[in-house]
């Protein structure tokens, strides 16, 4: 298998099992050379801790990108997750244009909202800026809330297949190419991933364990990118990522002290086995 180099751009939440502390180990476990660009350093994530510190690294990004360019460093994919500002979004677009190799992929997880609400610290201006990144990407991984915000669709707690198809069509007419829509549930007790490759749709249903487990979107997206960049079909990559994420959540349930994240580390050997490595 070709040895691919990927760049992932997201924050470092020092404690909290999300963003780079999840993406780096999972992508590395999938066999990719994983380069990182930390967009900010926070003491913890923003989803439930109080008084977290936040060091914005936006001003460091252009110099880092210039250095890589002067060294002739290129990436087979640029994968972005949680970003902190509209300026950072613009830098991700610029870096992708300058540093993705020929045929290199732009993969965007528009990590900004869940359960019908934006995460703390985001506003409508950020959503508008995110649209420009999402609708120029090759592959996007929104959840239903994010897809609604990106398309101006009303968010619903319960929905049917027609609503989801409408949401995917709105994403496509706004410019989306391949969409991996997560958290799509058509029956109580189950949820799933809808993979839409230019209008051709497949659904993978899996067990729903708990609502709103923190960091699961980052685990799923990283596991998906790791599988897909290894040359696996989109739907197979989505299945592996979903199965691994479910396994991690199962391994965390029953530990109320571990409310802030998911114990993804213990499932890494299973993820590697699922990849057949
Ligand atoms: O898991 C997404 C995420 C990443 N980074 C930070 C966050 C969140 C979600 O709340 O706060 C800093």
DSSP the chain: ----EEEEEEEEEEESS-THHHHHHHHHHTT-EEEEEEEEEEEE-SSS-SS--EEE-GGGHHHHHHHHHHTT--EEEEEE-----HHHHHHHHHHHHHHEEEEEEEEE---SEETTEEPTT--HHHHHHHHHHHTT-SEE--BHHHHHHHHTPPP-SS--HHHHHHHHHHHHHHT--EEEEB---SBTTEEEEEEEETTEEEEEEEE---TT-TTHHHHHHHHHHHHHHTT--HHHHHHHHHHHHHHHHHTTTT-TT-TTS---GGGHHHHHHHTT-
Name the closest-CA residue to atom 1, ligand 1.
215
Q: What is the pLDDT along the chain (277 residues), one digit of tens a residue?
A: 689 999 999 999 999 999 999 999 999 999 999 999 999 999 999 999 999 999 999 999 999 999 999 999 999 999 999 998 999 999 999 999 999 999 999 999 999 999 999 998 899 999 999 999 999 999 999 999 999 999 999 999 999 999 999 999 999 999 999 999 999 999 998 999 999 998 899 999 999 876 668 899 999 999 999 999 999 999 999 999 999 999 999 999 889 899 999 999 999 999 999 999 9
Q: What is the pLDDT of residues 181-205, one digit of tens each?
A: 999 999 998 999 999 998 899 999 9
CA–centroid distance, 119 to ligand 1, in Å, is 8
Q: Answer whether 47 contacts ligand 1 (Cβ < 6 A).
A: yes
Cβ of 22 closer than 6 Å to ligand 1, yes or no, is: no
CA 260 / ligand 1 centre spacing (Å): 11
Regarding the beta carbon of 108 and ligand 1, being less than 6 Å apart is answered no
Instruction: Kindly give the distance from the C-alpha atom of residue 45 to the centroid of ligand 1, in angstroms, as a whole number.
Output: 5
Kindly give the distance from the C-alpha atom of residue 232 to the centroid of ligand 1, in angstroms, as a whole number: 28
The predicted structure's pLDDT at residue 1: 62
- The per-residue pLDDT for 84 is 87
Domains of the chain: 5-254 (3.40.1190.20)
45 lines ligand 1 (CB under 6 A): yes
Residue nearest atom 10 of ligand 1, based on CA coordinates: 47
Q: How far is the CA of 185 from the centre of ligand 1 (A)?
A: 23
**Per-residue pLDDT reduced to its tens digit, 36-77:** 999 999 999 999 999 999 999 999 999 999 999 999 999 999
């Amino acid at each position: 298998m070709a040895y691919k180099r990927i760049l992932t751009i997201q924050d470092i939440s020092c404690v909290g099992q999300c963003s780079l502390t999840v993406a780096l180990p999972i992508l590395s476990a999938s066999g990719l050379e994983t380069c990182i660009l930390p967009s900010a350093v926070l003491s913890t994530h923003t989803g439930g801790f109080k008084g977290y510190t936040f060091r914005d690294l936006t001003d460091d990004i252009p110099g880092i990108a210039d250095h890589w360019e002067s060294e002739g460093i290129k990436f087979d994919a640029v994968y972005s997750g949680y970003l902190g500002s509209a300026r950072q979004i613009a830098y991700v677009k610029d870096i992708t244009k300058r540093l993705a190799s020929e045929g290199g992929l732009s993969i965007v997880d528009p990590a900004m909202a869940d359960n019908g609400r934006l995460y703390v610290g985001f506003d409508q201006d950020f959503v508008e800026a995110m649209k420009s990144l999402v609708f120029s990407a090759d592959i996007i991984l929104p959840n239903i809330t994010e897809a609604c915000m990106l398309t101006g669709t009303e968010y619903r707690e319960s929905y049917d297949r027609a609503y989801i198809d409408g949401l995917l069509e709105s994403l496509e007419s706004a410019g989306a190419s391949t969409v991996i829509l997560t958290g799509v549930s058509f029956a109580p007790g189950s949820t799933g991933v809808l993979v839409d490759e230019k209008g051709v749709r497949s659904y993978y249903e899996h067990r729903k364990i708990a609502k709103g487990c923190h960091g699961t979107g980052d685990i799923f997206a990283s596991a998906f990118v790791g599988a897909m960049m290894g040359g696996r079909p989109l739907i197979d990559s989505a299945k592996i990522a979903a199965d691994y994420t479910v396994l991690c959540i199962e391994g965390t349930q029953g530990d109320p002290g571990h409310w802030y994240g998911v114990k993804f580390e213990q499932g890494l050997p299973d993820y590697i086995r699922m990849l057949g490595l």
